[in-house]
Protein backbone atom coordinates (compact mmCIF):
# COMPACT_ATOMS: atom_id res chain seq x y z
CA UNK A 1 0.00 0.00 0.00
CA UNK A 2 1.23 3.50 -0.81
CA UNK A 3 0.53 7.12 -1.55
CA UNK A 4 0.52 7.70 -5.31
CA UNK A 5 0.58 10.93 -7.26
CA UNK A 6 -1.13 10.92 -10.65
CA UNK A 7 -1.10 14.03 -12.76
CA UNK A 8 -4.83 14.32 -13.59
CA UNK A 9 -4.14 16.14 -16.85
CA UNK A 10 -1.58 13.71 -18.28
CA UNK A 11 -3.02 10.72 -16.33
CA UNK A 12 0.56 9.62 -15.61
CA UNK A 13 1.99 8.63 -12.26
CA UNK A 14 4.37 11.26 -10.91
CA UNK A 15 5.53 9.66 -7.66
CA UNK A 16 4.86 6.90 -5.17
CA UNK A 17 5.55 6.77 -1.44
CA UNK A 18 5.20 3.82 0.93
CA UNK A 19 3.32 4.19 4.19
CA UNK A 20 5.75 4.83 7.02
CA UNK A 21 6.89 1.86 9.08
CA UNK A 22 5.54 1.08 12.54
CA UNK A 23 8.85 2.19 14.06
CA UNK A 24 8.83 5.51 12.19
CA UNK A 25 5.16 6.01 13.06
CA UNK A 26 5.71 5.80 16.83
CA UNK A 27 8.90 7.81 16.59
CA UNK A 28 6.94 10.68 15.02
CA UNK A 29 4.20 10.46 17.65
CA UNK A 30 6.76 10.52 20.47
CA UNK A 31 8.57 13.43 18.82
CA UNK A 32 5.33 15.41 18.58
CA UNK A 33 4.70 14.82 22.29
CA UNK A 34 8.22 15.72 23.42
CA UNK A 35 8.26 18.76 21.14
CA UNK A 36 5.05 20.04 22.67
CA UNK A 37 6.62 20.05 26.13
CA UNK A 38 9.15 22.58 24.84
CA UNK A 39 7.13 24.40 22.20
CA UNK A 40 4.34 25.42 24.59
CA UNK A 41 6.87 27.48 26.55
CA UNK A 42 8.46 29.08 23.47
CA UNK A 43 8.07 32.85 23.47
CA UNK A 44 5.25 34.15 21.31
CA UNK A 45 7.73 36.45 19.59
CA UNK A 46 9.75 33.45 18.45
CA UNK A 47 6.71 31.62 17.10
CA UNK A 48 5.70 34.78 15.26
CA UNK A 49 9.17 35.20 13.78
CA UNK A 50 9.10 31.67 12.35
CA UNK A 51 5.59 31.99 10.95
CA UNK A 52 6.54 35.28 9.31
CA UNK A 53 9.48 33.46 7.74
CA UNK A 54 7.05 30.84 6.43
CA UNK A 55 5.10 33.65 4.75
CA UNK A 56 8.30 35.06 3.27
CA UNK A 57 9.25 31.67 1.81
CA UNK A 58 5.78 31.15 0.35
CA UNK A 59 6.00 34.47 -1.45
CA UNK A 60 9.56 33.84 -2.62
CA UNK A 61 8.82 30.28 -3.79
CA UNK A 62 5.23 30.81 -4.94
CA UNK A 63 5.73 29.28 -8.38
CA UNK A 64 7.36 26.13 -7.01
CA UNK A 65 4.50 25.46 -4.61
CA UNK A 66 1.82 26.39 -7.15
CA UNK A 67 3.22 23.90 -9.66
CA UNK A 68 3.17 21.13 -7.04
CA UNK A 69 -0.52 21.81 -6.40
CA UNK A 70 -1.44 21.88 -10.10
CA UNK A 71 0.59 18.77 -10.90
CA UNK A 72 -0.98 16.73 -8.13
CA UNK A 73 -4.65 17.71 -8.30
CA UNK A 74 -5.20 19.70 -11.50
CA UNK A 75 -6.11 23.13 -10.16
CA UNK A 76 -5.55 25.82 -12.84
CA UNK A 77 -2.11 27.31 -12.20
CA UNK A 78 -3.43 30.86 -11.78
CA UNK A 79 -5.65 29.64 -8.94
CA UNK A 80 -2.80 27.61 -7.40
CA UNK A 81 -0.71 30.78 -7.25
CA UNK A 82 -3.56 32.55 -5.47
CA UNK A 83 -3.82 29.66 -3.01
CA UNK A 84 -0.14 29.94 -2.11
CA UNK A 85 -0.44 33.70 -1.71
CA UNK A 86 -3.45 33.20 0.57
CA UNK A 87 -1.38 30.91 2.78
CA UNK A 88 1.19 33.69 3.19
CA UNK A 89 -1.69 36.00 4.15
CA UNK A 90 -3.00 33.72 6.90
CA UNK A 91 0.52 33.16 8.22
CA UNK A 92 1.07 36.90 8.64
CA UNK A 93 -2.42 37.33 10.09
CA UNK A 94 -1.90 34.90 12.96
CA UNK A 95 1.73 35.92 13.47
CA UNK A 96 0.47 39.47 14.05
CA UNK A 97 -2.82 38.77 15.84
CA UNK A 98 -2.04 35.81 18.13
CA UNK A 99 -0.82 37.95 21.02
CA UNK A 100 -4.13 39.79 21.03
CA UNK A 101 -6.20 36.61 20.64
CA UNK A 102 -4.63 34.72 23.54
CA UNK A 103 -3.97 37.59 25.94
CA UNK A 104 -5.45 36.97 29.43
CA UNK A 105 -8.87 38.56 29.95
CA UNK A 106 -9.87 40.00 33.33
CA UNK A 107 -13.36 39.05 34.53
CA UNK A 108 -15.63 40.20 37.32
CA UNK A 109 -16.53 37.51 39.87
CA UNK A 110 -17.04 36.84 43.58
CA UNK A 111 -13.29 36.30 43.86
CA UNK A 112 -10.86 39.11 44.62
CA UNK A 113 -9.45 38.71 41.11
CA UNK A 114 -10.40 36.50 38.16
CA UNK A 115 -9.05 36.15 34.67
CA UNK A 116 -9.18 33.78 31.73
CA UNK A 117 -6.05 32.24 30.24
CA UNK A 118 -5.73 30.62 26.81
CA UNK A 119 -3.29 27.72 27.11
CA UNK A 120 -2.20 25.19 24.47
CA UNK A 121 -3.78 21.73 24.56
CA UNK A 122 -1.16 19.42 23.05
CA UNK A 123 -0.97 17.60 19.74
CA UNK A 124 -3.66 18.55 17.23
CA UNK A 125 -4.19 15.96 14.49
CA UNK A 126 -5.46 17.14 11.10
CA UNK A 127 -7.04 15.02 8.37
CA UNK A 128 -7.03 17.26 5.32
CA UNK A 129 -8.47 17.11 1.76
CA UNK A 130 -6.86 17.36 -1.65
CA UNK A 131 -8.94 20.17 -3.19
CA UNK A 132 -7.13 23.04 -1.44
CA UNK A 133 -4.04 21.10 -0.40
CA UNK A 134 -2.15 24.11 1.01
CA UNK A 135 -4.89 26.47 2.19
CA UNK A 136 -6.81 23.84 4.17
CA UNK A 137 -3.64 22.85 6.01
CA UNK A 138 -2.73 26.46 6.79
CA UNK A 139 -6.20 27.14 8.20
CA UNK A 140 -5.36 24.55 10.82
CA UNK A 141 -1.62 24.86 11.39
CA UNK A 142 -1.18 28.67 11.45
CA UNK A 143 -3.37 29.31 14.54
CA UNK A 144 -2.25 26.15 16.32
CA UNK A 145 1.42 26.90 15.65
CA UNK A 146 0.98 30.31 17.28
CA UNK A 147 -1.10 28.83 20.11
CA UNK A 148 1.78 26.56 21.16
CA UNK A 149 0.22 23.28 20.03
CA UNK A 150 2.13 20.80 17.90
CA UNK A 151 0.63 19.40 14.70
CA UNK A 152 0.37 16.05 12.94
CA UNK A 153 -1.00 15.97 9.40
CA UNK A 154 -2.60 13.13 7.49
CA UNK A 155 -3.11 14.57 4.05
CA UNK A 156 -5.21 13.10 1.24
CA UNK A 157 -3.50 10.15 -0.42
CA UNK A 158 -3.33 11.83 -3.86
CA UNK A 159 -1.35 14.89 -2.70
CA UNK A 160 1.73 13.50 -0.90
CA UNK A 161 4.08 15.94 -2.65
CA UNK A 162 2.08 18.83 -1.20
CA UNK A 163 2.22 17.28 2.27
CA UNK A 164 5.97 16.71 2.11
CA UNK A 165 6.57 20.24 0.81
CA UNK A 166 4.50 21.75 3.62
CA UNK A 167 6.48 20.03 6.37
CA UNK A 168 9.76 21.03 4.72
CA UNK A 169 8.53 24.61 4.40
CA UNK A 170 8.20 24.95 8.17
CA UNK A 171 11.58 23.33 8.77
CA UNK A 172 13.18 25.70 6.27
CA UNK A 173 11.60 28.62 8.14
CA UNK A 174 13.26 27.47 11.37
CA UNK A 175 10.44 25.56 13.08
CA UNK A 176 11.86 23.03 15.57
CA UNK A 177 11.71 19.43 14.41
CA UNK A 178 8.53 17.75 15.61
CA UNK A 179 6.37 20.88 15.90
CA UNK A 180 4.66 20.14 12.56
CA UNK A 181 4.98 16.73 10.96
CA UNK A 182 3.47 15.05 7.92
CA UNK A 183 2.39 11.44 8.34
CA UNK A 184 2.22 9.18 5.28
CA UNK A 185 -0.17 6.79 6.97
CA UNK A 186 -3.25 4.69 6.22
CA UNK A 187 -6.66 4.96 7.84
CA UNK A 188 -5.93 2.29 10.45
CA UNK A 189 -2.86 4.23 11.57
CA UNK A 190 -4.93 7.42 11.60
CA UNK A 191 -7.17 5.74 14.15
CA UNK A 192 -4.12 4.99 16.27
CA UNK A 193 -3.15 8.65 16.17
CA UNK A 194 -6.61 9.67 17.40
CA UNK A 195 -6.36 7.16 20.26
CA UNK A 196 -2.92 8.35 21.37
CA UNK A 197 -3.26 10.01 24.80
CA UNK A 198 -1.08 13.00 23.84
CA UNK A 199 -3.38 13.86 20.91
CA UNK A 200 -5.89 16.33 22.35
CA UNK A 201 -7.84 17.48 19.32
CA UNK A 202 -8.74 16.40 15.81
CA UNK A 203 -9.78 18.58 12.89
CA UNK A 204 -11.06 17.17 9.62
CA UNK A 205 -12.12 18.69 6.35
CA UNK A 206 -13.56 16.14 3.96
CA UNK A 207 -16.46 13.83 3.27
CA UNK A 208 -19.35 13.24 5.62
CA UNK A 209 -18.45 9.56 5.82
CA UNK A 210 -14.89 10.29 6.94
CA UNK A 211 -16.03 13.04 9.30
CA UNK A 212 -18.56 10.87 11.09
CA UNK A 213 -16.03 8.05 11.47
CA UNK A 214 -13.47 10.41 12.99
CA UNK A 215 -16.07 12.02 15.26
CA UNK A 216 -17.23 8.59 16.46
CA UNK A 217 -13.73 7.48 17.34
CA UNK A 218 -12.72 10.79 18.89
CA UNK A 219 -15.98 10.98 20.84
CA UNK A 220 -15.33 7.59 22.36
CA UNK A 221 -12.04 9.01 23.66
CA UNK A 222 -13.63 12.28 24.85
CA UNK A 223 -11.57 14.35 22.42
CA UNK A 224 -12.48 17.67 20.83
CA UNK A 225 -13.20 17.69 17.09
CA UNK A 226 -13.86 20.33 14.46
CA UNK A 227 -15.46 19.11 11.24
CA UNK A 228 -15.86 20.94 7.93
CA UNK A 229 -17.79 18.62 5.66
CA UNK A 230 -19.75 18.84 2.42
CA UNK A 231 -21.96 21.54 1.04
CA UNK A 232 -24.71 22.13 -1.51
CA UNK A 233 -24.61 25.89 -1.42
CA UNK A 234 -27.48 27.90 -2.96
CA UNK A 235 -26.84 30.93 -5.17
CA UNK A 236 -30.10 32.89 -5.05
CA UNK A 237 -30.76 35.56 -7.68
CA UNK A 238 -33.73 37.91 -7.28
CA UNK A 239 -35.27 39.93 -10.11
CA UNK A 240 -33.78 43.19 -8.80
CA UNK A 241 -30.22 41.85 -8.84
CA UNK A 242 -27.43 43.05 -11.12
CA UNK A 243 -27.65 40.12 -13.54
CA UNK A 244 -24.39 40.88 -15.32
CA UNK A 245 -22.46 40.92 -12.07
CA UNK A 246 -24.30 37.86 -10.74
CA UNK A 247 -23.44 35.92 -13.89
CA UNK A 248 -19.81 37.08 -13.96
CA UNK A 249 -19.26 36.27 -10.27
CA UNK A 250 -21.19 33.03 -10.70
CA UNK A 251 -18.49 31.70 -13.02
CA UNK A 252 -15.84 31.69 -10.30
CA UNK A 253 -18.36 30.92 -7.55
CA UNK A 254 -19.25 27.66 -9.28
CA UNK A 255 -16.21 26.73 -11.33
CA UNK A 256 -13.30 27.70 -9.09
CA UNK A 257 -10.95 24.76 -8.64
CA UNK A 258 -12.74 22.97 -11.49
CA UNK A 259 -15.94 23.00 -9.42
CA UNK A 260 -14.28 21.04 -6.61
CA UNK A 261 -14.87 23.33 -3.66
CA UNK A 262 -17.00 22.77 -0.58
CA UNK A 263 -18.15 26.40 -0.72
CA UNK A 264 -18.77 26.49 -4.47
CA UNK A 265 -22.20 27.72 -5.55
CA UNK A 266 -23.73 24.32 -6.31
CA UNK A 267 -27.39 25.24 -6.94
CA UNK A 268 -28.45 28.38 -8.80
CA UNK A 269 -31.95 29.48 -7.75
CA UNK A 270 -33.26 32.26 -10.02
CA UNK A 271 -36.50 34.28 -9.82
CA UNK A 272 -38.86 33.56 -12.73
CA UNK A 273 -38.99 37.15 -14.04
CA UNK A 274 -35.27 37.08 -14.90
CA UNK A 275 -34.73 33.34 -15.29
CA UNK A 276 -34.40 33.27 -19.08
CA UNK A 277 -32.37 36.49 -19.21
CA UNK A 278 -29.92 35.27 -16.60
CA UNK A 279 -29.64 31.81 -18.15
CA UNK A 280 -28.81 33.25 -21.57
CA UNK A 281 -26.19 35.55 -20.07
CA UNK A 282 -24.66 32.83 -17.91
CA UNK A 283 -24.58 30.27 -20.71
CA UNK A 284 -22.69 32.67 -22.94
CA UNK A 285 -20.05 33.18 -20.26
CA UNK A 286 -19.75 29.47 -19.50
CA UNK A 287 -19.26 28.53 -23.14
CA UNK A 288 -16.49 31.14 -23.43
CA UNK A 289 -14.40 29.58 -20.66
CA UNK A 290 -11.03 28.17 -21.64
CA UNK A 291 -10.89 24.44 -20.91
CA UNK A 292 -7.69 22.41 -21.01
CA UNK A 293 -4.13 22.28 -19.66
CA UNK A 294 -4.15 23.53 -16.04
CA UNK A 295 -0.55 24.75 -16.42
CA UNK A 296 -1.78 27.30 -18.99
CA UNK A 297 -2.41 30.58 -17.10
CA UNK A 298 -5.48 31.24 -19.29
CA UNK A 299 -7.20 27.96 -18.40
CA UNK A 300 -10.26 28.21 -16.15
CA UNK A 301 -11.45 24.59 -16.29
CA UNK A 302 -8.90 21.80 -15.90
CA UNK A 303 -9.28 18.14 -15.01
CA UNK A 304 -11.19 16.61 -12.13
CA UNK A 305 -8.63 15.42 -9.57
CA UNK A 306 -9.11 11.64 -9.94
CA UNK A 307 -10.78 9.19 -12.31
CA UNK A 308 -13.08 7.76 -9.62
CA UNK A 309 -14.33 11.27 -8.83
CA UNK A 310 -15.11 11.93 -12.48
CA UNK A 311 -16.98 8.62 -12.81
CA UNK A 312 -19.05 9.53 -9.75
CA UNK A 313 -19.81 12.96 -11.18
CA UNK A 314 -20.84 11.48 -14.55
CA UNK A 315 -23.11 9.04 -12.71
CA UNK A 316 -24.75 11.93 -10.85
CA UNK A 317 -25.24 13.74 -14.15
CA UNK A 318 -26.95 10.71 -15.67
CA UNK A 319 -29.33 10.54 -12.70
CA UNK A 320 -30.11 14.25 -13.02
CA UNK A 321 -31.08 13.76 -16.67
CA UNK A 322 -33.14 10.68 -15.77
CA UNK A 323 -35.02 12.83 -13.24
CA UNK A 324 -36.03 15.29 -15.96
CA UNK A 325 -33.03 17.57 -16.13
CA UNK A 326 -31.99 19.02 -19.48
CA UNK A 327 -28.32 19.61 -20.32
CA UNK A 328 -28.22 23.14 -21.70
CA UNK A 329 -24.50 23.09 -22.44
CA UNK A 330 -21.52 20.84 -21.72
CA UNK A 331 -21.98 17.39 -20.23
CA UNK A 332 -19.14 15.67 -22.12
CA UNK A 333 -15.48 14.96 -21.53
CA UNK A 334 -13.07 17.09 -23.50
CA UNK A 335 -11.52 13.89 -24.86
CA UNK A 336 -12.67 10.29 -24.34
CA UNK A 337 -9.90 9.33 -21.89
CA UNK A 338 -9.31 12.72 -20.29
CA UNK A 339 -10.44 13.72 -16.81
CA UNK A 340 -11.76 17.06 -18.06
CA UNK A 341 -15.53 17.46 -18.00
CA UNK A 342 -16.83 20.44 -19.94
CA UNK A 343 -18.54 23.04 -17.73
CA UNK A 344 -22.16 21.91 -17.65
CA UNK A 345 -25.48 23.70 -17.04
CA UNK A 346 -28.58 21.63 -16.27
CA UNK A 347 -32.11 23.09 -16.33
CA UNK A 348 -35.77 22.01 -16.04
CA UNK A 349 -35.29 20.22 -12.72
CA UNK A 350 -38.24 20.03 -10.31
CA UNK A 351 -37.98 21.97 -7.06
CA UNK A 352 -37.67 18.76 -5.03
CA UNK A 353 -35.08 17.12 -7.33
CA UNK A 354 -32.99 14.52 -5.45
CA UNK A 355 -29.79 16.35 -6.40
CA UNK A 356 -30.65 18.84 -3.63
CA UNK A 357 -29.68 16.11 -1.18
CA UNK A 358 -26.26 15.45 -2.76
CA UNK A 359 -23.07 17.38 -3.34
CA UNK A 360 -21.93 17.95 -6.92
CA UNK A 361 -18.14 18.09 -6.72
CA UNK A 362 -17.19 19.18 -10.21
CA UNK A 363 -18.10 21.62 -13.03
CA UNK A 364 -21.85 20.89 -13.12
CA UNK A 365 -24.49 23.44 -12.15
CA UNK A 366 -28.25 22.80 -11.85
CA UNK A 367 -30.38 25.93 -12.29
CA UNK A 368 -33.80 26.17 -10.62
CA UNK A 369 -36.49 28.86 -10.78
CA UNK A 370 -38.80 30.32 -8.12
CA UNK A 371 -41.61 32.86 -7.91
CA UNK A 372 -41.92 34.11 -4.33
CA UNK A 373 -39.28 35.01 -1.75
CA UNK A 374 -40.38 32.31 0.69
CA UNK A 375 -39.95 29.70 -2.06
CA UNK A 376 -36.33 30.74 -2.54
CA UNK A 377 -35.66 30.28 1.17
CA UNK A 378 -37.39 26.88 1.19
CA UNK A 379 -35.39 25.73 -1.81
CA UNK A 380 -32.13 27.00 -0.34
CA UNK A 381 -32.73 25.07 2.88
CA UNK A 382 -34.02 21.94 1.11
CA UNK A 383 -30.75 20.09 1.64
CA UNK A 384 -29.07 18.28 4.52
CA UNK A 385 -26.11 20.64 4.18
CA UNK A 386 -25.59 24.11 5.60
CA UNK A 387 -22.15 25.41 4.74
CA UNK A 388 -22.65 28.69 2.87
CA UNK A 389 -24.95 30.60 0.53
CA UNK A 390 -25.12 33.66 -1.73
CA UNK A 391 -28.00 36.13 -2.12
CA UNK A 392 -28.19 38.55 -5.06
CA UNK A 393 -30.60 41.46 -4.67
CA UNK A 394 -30.75 45.24 -4.99
CA UNK A 395 -32.63 45.49 -1.69
CA UNK A 396 -30.69 45.67 1.57
CA UNK A 397 -33.99 45.19 3.41
CA UNK A 398 -34.58 41.90 1.59
CA UNK A 399 -31.03 40.71 2.26
CA UNK A 400 -31.36 41.53 5.96
CA UNK A 401 -34.66 39.67 6.06
CA UNK A 402 -33.43 36.54 4.31
CA UNK A 403 -29.92 36.11 5.77
CA UNK A 404 -31.15 34.94 9.22
CA UNK A 405 -33.52 32.44 7.57
CA UNK A 406 -30.81 30.64 5.59
CA UNK A 407 -29.38 27.52 7.27
CA UNK A 408 -25.69 28.17 6.66
CA UNK A 409 -22.48 29.17 8.39
CA UNK A 410 -21.83 31.99 5.89
CA UNK A 411 -24.14 34.20 3.83
CA UNK A 412 -22.65 36.35 1.06
CA UNK A 413 -24.75 39.21 -0.32
CA UNK A 414 -24.05 40.30 -3.89
CA UNK A 415 -20.80 38.37 -3.94
CA UNK A 416 -19.34 34.87 -3.82
CA UNK A 417 -18.59 32.97 -0.65
CA UNK A 418 -14.95 33.24 0.43
CA UNK A 419 -12.94 32.17 3.42
CA UNK A 420 -10.65 34.82 4.89
CA UNK A 421 -8.26 34.65 7.85
CA UNK A 422 -10.21 37.26 9.85
CA UNK A 423 -13.70 35.74 9.51
CA UNK A 424 -15.02 32.62 11.30
CA UNK A 425 -15.71 29.77 8.90
CA UNK A 426 -17.71 26.56 9.26
CA UNK A 427 -21.10 24.98 8.72
CA UNK A 428 -24.26 23.67 10.34
CA UNK A 429 -26.39 20.57 9.82
CA UNK A 430 -24.53 17.93 7.79
CA UNK A 431 -21.81 20.45 6.89
CA UNK A 432 -20.14 19.98 10.26
CA UNK A 433 -19.51 21.93 13.44
CA UNK A 434 -16.92 24.14 15.05
CA UNK A 435 -15.18 27.05 13.38
CA UNK A 436 -11.87 27.73 11.68
CA UNK A 437 -10.15 31.08 11.09
CA UNK A 438 -10.29 34.34 13.05
CA UNK A 439 -10.02 34.53 16.83
CA UNK A 440 -12.88 32.02 17.11
CA UNK A 441 -10.98 29.39 15.16
CA UNK A 442 -7.85 29.86 17.25
CA UNK A 443 -9.80 29.28 20.46
CA UNK A 444 -11.19 25.93 19.27
CA UNK A 445 -8.06 24.06 20.36
CA UNK A 446 -7.03 26.03 23.41
CA UNK A 447 -7.63 25.36 27.09
CA UNK A 448 -9.81 28.31 28.08
CA UNK A 449 -8.75 28.33 31.71
CA UNK A 450 -10.34 30.31 34.53
CA UNK A 451 -7.99 31.51 37.31
CA UNK A 452 -9.45 32.88 40.57
CA UNK A 453 -7.66 34.66 43.42
CA UNK A 454 -9.65 34.73 46.67
Residue positions annotated with a catalytic role: 228, 262
Rounded Cα distance, 123 and 151, in Å: 6
Rounded Cα distance, 439 and 199, in Å: 22
Element holding 196 (H helix, E strand): none
Residue 203 CB neighbours (<10 A): 26
Rounded Cα distance, 227 and 220, in Å: 16
Counted residue by residue, the chain has a size of: 454
Confirm if 65 and 84 have CB atoms less than 8 A apart. Answer: yes
Question: What is the four-CA torsion angle of 297, 300, 304, 305, rounded to 10 degrees?
Answer: 40
Q: Give the HSE-up count for residue 142: Cα atoms under 13 Å, Cβ half-sphere.
A: 31
Rounded Cα distance, 214 and 224, in Å: 11
Residue 340 backbone phi and psi in degrees, to 5: -100, 120
Residue 312 CB neighbours (<10 A): 15
Rounded Cα distance, 199 and 350, in Å: 47
Q: Is the dihedral of CA 366, 357, 379, 246 positive or negative?
A: negative
β-strand pairing of 344-347 with 326-329: antiparallel
At 50, is the secondary structure helix, strand, or coil?
helix
Element holding 444 (H helix, E strand): none
Residue 421 backbone phi and psi in degrees, to 5: -55, -35
If we measure between CA atoms, which residue out of 404, 378, 362 comes closest to residue 269? Answer: 378
> Which burial class, exposed, middle or buried, applies to 240 when counting CB atoms under 10 A from its CB (0-12, 13-18, 19+)?
middle
Question: What is the four-CA torsion angle of 294, 259, 388, 155, rounded to 10 degrees?
Answer: -60
- 442 contacts: CB under 8 Å, gap ≥ 6: 94, 98, 101, 102, 143, 144, 146, 147
Amino acid sequence: MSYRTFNPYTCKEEARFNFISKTAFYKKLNLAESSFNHWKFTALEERSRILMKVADLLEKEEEKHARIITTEMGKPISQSRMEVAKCAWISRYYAEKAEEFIAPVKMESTARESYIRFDPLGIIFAVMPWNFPYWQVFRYIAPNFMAGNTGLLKHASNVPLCAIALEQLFLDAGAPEGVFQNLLINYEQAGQVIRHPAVRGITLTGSNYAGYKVAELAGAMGKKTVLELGGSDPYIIFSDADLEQAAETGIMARFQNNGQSCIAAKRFIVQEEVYESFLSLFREKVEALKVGDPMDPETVIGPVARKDLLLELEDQLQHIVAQGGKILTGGRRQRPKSLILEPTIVTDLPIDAPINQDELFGPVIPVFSFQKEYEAVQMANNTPFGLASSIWTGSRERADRIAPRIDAGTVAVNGMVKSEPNLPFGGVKASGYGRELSETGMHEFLNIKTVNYF
